[in-house]
Amino acid sequence: MIKKVFIFSAFFVLPFISLSQQKEDVSKMFRDVVNVQVDRSKFAPAAPPTPAVTETTGKKGKQKKVEIPVEPAPDTLSAMIPAPVGEIVKRAQNWTTLKNPKFTKSGATNAGNTISCNVTFPYKQKVLNPENAVDGKFTMDVIIDAKEGKYRYTIKNIKHIALKPGMSGGDIYATVPEAGSMSFTDNTWKHVKSEAFTDAKIVIEDLKAKMAEGVETEKDEW
């Protein structure tokens, strides 16, 4: 009886374990790693002052200490260093709060060194007499993972959602749109996909530009 219960439980549990262990399909997302460097003078700890050499001199048994300054060693280190994780996280958090005239961000979250949000683009067909009523919006998830000196961005779950019920394309990587081939012509689905990919690239360009800039900290004046 116990053996039967174990087999019955495994029948339901194993599929879920298998699904959870599946790797993400990187062919259905935009993903890349970007290096970030910062000014060493602003982020590296200041070098300790070079101590002076003390000599003892004197006449007739009297001792006198004289400090002779020593020239510091020349600084041969690079002016730039890998950005600290905290700085990269701060820049990513700042990006999720910045407004952009082309798209909106919502649902920003911060889990340790991972920052994410949802991006929405309005979509309107660029033709006078469109074949299908597919105007609406694109949605996509943006995830930023931070490490020392670099971050990895991921843009996935890119979907088309139409204003008209039953006309959504859904996952833009799908061969056949969610609404079906009878509602979407091949040409319409091709244009929808192209516009969605273009929008994703707009997000990437905006993210890279803002992540390359430092975040100004507001001074708390009393």
Structure tokens at 196: 């969605």
37-41, 69-73, 134-138, 207-211: the lowest-pLDDT one: 69-73
Q: Is the pLDDT of residue 95 over 80?
A: yes
Tokens 């009393």, located at residue: 222
The domain limits of the chain are: 25-40+82-211
Q: Which residue has the higher pLDDT, 179 or 55?
A: 179
Distances (CA, A) of 192 to 15, 71, 85, 139, 206: 34, 67, 37, 13, 21
Please give the pLDDT value at position 68.
60
- Mean pLDDT score across all residues of the chain: 83
Please give the pLDDT value at position 69.
64
Kindly state the helix (H) or strand (E) to which residue 108 belongs, with its residue range: strand 104-111
Going by pLDDT thresholds of 50, 70 and 90, the confidence category of residue 216 is: confident
**Topology of the domain covering 25-40+82-211:** Alpha-D-Glucose-1,6-Bisphosphate; Chain A, domain 4 (3.30.530)
Please give the pLDDT value at position 55.
58
Helices 85-97/186-211 angle, 10° precision: 130
Please give the pLDDT value at position 183.
87
Structure tokens at 123: 């979509």
- Helices vs. strands in the chain: H and E counts, helices first: 4, 10
Q: What is the spatial distance between Cα 183 and Cα 174, in angstroms, rounded to a whole number?
A: 15
Beta bridge partners of 30: 155
